[in-house]
Amino acid sequence: MVAVSESREGFEPRITAFVCNWCTYTGADLAGTSRLQMAPNVRIIRLPCTGRIDPLFIVKAFERGADGVIVSGCHPADCHYSEGNYHARRRFALFRELIEFLGVDPRRVTFSWVSASEGAKWRDVVDATAETVRDLGPFDAYRQPAGRTACAS
């Protein structure tokens, strides 16, 4: 594993979070109304269910400038659509294995189950992710590669 690097002076990671409407989004809202202080680096994108999250969303977030991604939804057995998170669980497990195999640090993607009543847990996930990704540094290796091609010149 790559050693955790010194964070660049003043670097604040940009983190995109894909969260399900019924659990994590509501839990994040609870964190807000409870005035819990948390790292400000996260932008939330609300989806009906983690089962809707295509791994391409995560890839796209990295392409567009995210240094880290959070994917969060309902605990198993609590999915609003009964099974969405079970499908998501398999999908994300394989996605994680794949990116690690290709050489992307899997710590850049955090997966969590956060329920509607777990405002504090959401805060913990956000803070922990911000800290981890701050240490990992900007994900330039992913953003730059538009310049690398098969062409020798």
Partner 1 sequence: MRELRELAKKLLEEGTVSVVIGWEEGPRGVRPAFVTSPEDAEQLVFNSRSVHNLATYLNPRRPQVRRLGKPAVVVKACDAASVAALIRETQLKREDVVLIGVRCGGVVGRPDGPAELTPETVARRCMDCEKREPALCDHLVGEAQPAPPRGEGLGARLGALEAMPLSERWAFWAGELARCVRCHACREVCPLCFCERCVADKTVPQWIESSPHLRGNLAWQMTRALHQAGRCVGCGECERACPAGIPLALINRKLQQAVAERYNFKVSDDPGVPAPVGAFRLDDPQEFIR
Partner 2 sequence: MSGERFLSTERGERLVADLTLSGVRVYAPVEAQGRTEYGLIKDLREAALGGPLPGMSLKSLFFPPTEPLFRWRQSGSEVALEAVPTTFEPMVILGVRPCDAASLAVLDGVMGWDYKDELWFGRRQAATILTIACPGFDDACFCSAVGLGPDASKGSDLLLVPVEGGYHVEIVSDKGAALVKAHPACFSDPRGRESAEAFRQQARRRVGSNLEIDPHRVRAWLAGHFEDRFFDGLGLRCHGCGACASVCPTCHCFDIVDEPEGLLAGTRRRHWDTCQTGKFTVHASGHNPRADQNPRFRQRVMHKFWIYPAKFGDVLCTGCGRCTRACPAGQNLLEILGQLDRQPQQIPEGMTS
Binding site for partner 2 (CB under 8 A): 64, 146, 149-153
Beta-carbon contacts of residue 79 (< 8 Å; ≥ 6 apart): 22, 49, 50, 51, 73, 85, 86
Assess 67 for contact with partner 1 (CB under 8 A).
Answer: no
Selected from 35, 90, 140, 153, the binder of partner 1 by CB under 8 A is 90
Among 32, 56, 65, 117, binds partner 1 (CB under 8 A): 56
Helix (H) or strand (E) holding 90: helix 84-102
**CB of residue 55 to partner 1, shortest distance in Å:** 6
b or e along 112-141 (b: 16 or more beta carbons within 10 Å of the residue's beta carbon)? bbbbbebbebbbbbbbebbebbbebbbbee
What six digits make up the tokens of 153?
Answer: 């010149």
Of 36 and 104, CB closest to partner 1? 104
- Determine contact, residues 23/112, Cβ cutoff 8 Å: no
- x/- letters, 6..45, toward partner 1 (CB under 8 A): ----------------------------------------
Contact of residue 141 among partner 1, partner 2, none (CB under 5-8 Å per partner type): partner 1
Beta-carbon contacts of residue 128 (< 8 Å; ≥ 6 apart): 110
Residue 51 neighbours by CB under 8 Å, 6+ apart: 79, 81, 83, 84, 85, 86, 87, 88
> According to the binding rule CB under 8 A, does residue 52 interact with partner 1?
no
User: Applying CB under 8 A, which of residues 8, 76, 82, 117 lies at the interface with partner 1?
Assistant: 76
Q: Which of 96, 127, 131, 135 binds partner 1 (CB under 8 A)?
A: 96
Q: Which residues pair with 16 in a beta bridge?
A: 43, 69
Q: Footprint of partner 1 on this chain (CB under 8 A)?
A: 1-2, 54-56, 59-60, 63, 76-77, 83, 86-87, 89-106, 110-113, 125, 128, 141-143, 145-150
